[in-house]
Amino acid sequence: MEVDEADGFGPIRTSQTAQTEKKLEVNTTLRHIARICIGFLSLIPILQSANGETTRDKELLEIVLDAEGDTFLSMIPSYSDNIRRGRFNLGVNATDSLLLRFSEHMGDPSFAKREQTHLEVIRFLDSTIGVWLQPSAADVLNKVQFLFKFYSDMIVRKKVRSWRIRYAFSCFMSNYLNKDPWQKAWNTAEVNCSLPSELLPQLGADEDIRVRFKLAILSAKLLSPSNLADKDASTVYLELKAGLSTDLSQFVPIRFRLCPDSDRTTDMNRSSLDCCTWAM
């Protein structure tokens, strides 16, 4: 055990801390190795194909599905990324099998409490939007709807402490709306939850500047003609406006709307308070 007592406030290192750091280091190493290998296996068949067709590597899929614990979480990021880039042709059955694999990890307390587990679930949902929106993917869509309800309920109830999860979920909803602005996937939903277009503006008042900054961009896209679908622009604008603070005591969110760059640091926040109060 090492204790840094230089100023009396140094971090305390225990054997448990060392084991955690070692585990994270191994996990990072596995992710780099998986990224290289999966990237190679996804690109080579495309380069060898005369017409550049993507591949369905069943052997690689079986390896990913059979991977345990940290190995699975180390392989799935690169696998999802190559699906998103269109390098793997993932079928409905394969998507369903991977969702079941994710559900097993989410049911394990040791993995359910990890930020990385939930990030990979959301990124996989994002990468496979084109798959579970297919008419033949009703069972897969049902699983996606339940996962969406789980995360949306947790975020609305402010049970998600990680800003990265809220950030990733916001990006996922925006990407989904770009591909399905009419939100037809929710017409036959068996779960009772808010639509992505309804939930996205609510996150504009997030406590974290990084999420608010991203939501300021994503929410504005809801007013684009391609995302309005059959909605009236004035109605969407009022929904966005309802999620914005009008209480002068909430000077940080208000100032962020006026000048996002001024919200970078606490020192800048405090020093610019008088100027922004005068401007308002």
Q: Please give the full DSSP string across 198-254, using - where no structure is assigned.
A: HHHHHGGG-SSHHHHHHHHHHHHHTTSHHHHTTS-HHHHHHHHHHTS---TT-HHHH
Predicted confidence (pLDDT) at residue 270 exceeds the cutoff of 60: no
Q: Considering Cα of 170, then 174, then 176, then 177, what sign does the dihedral take? A: positive
- Rounded to an integer, what distance in angstroms lies between the CA atom of residue 275 and that of residue 19? 49
pLDDT of residue 245: 63
Residue corresponding to tokens 């801390």: 17
- Per-residue model confidence as pLDDT tens digits over 225-256: 666 666 666 676 666 666 666 666 666 666 65
What type of residue sits at position 127?
S
What type of residue sits at position 277?
T
Predicted confidence (pLDDT) at residue 193 exceeds the cutoff of 50: yes
Residues 277/251, Cβ–Cβ less than 8 Å: yes
pLDDT of residue 166: 93
- Rounded to an integer, what distance in angstroms lies between the CA atom of residue 132 and that of residue 176? 11
Full DSSP string of 32-61: HHHHHHHHHHHHHHHHHSTT---B--HHHH
Instruction: Give the global pTM.
Output: 0.75
- Rounded to an integer, what distance in angstroms lies between the CA atom of residue 208 and that of residue 214? 10
Q: Which residues sit opposite 202 in a β-bridge?
A: none
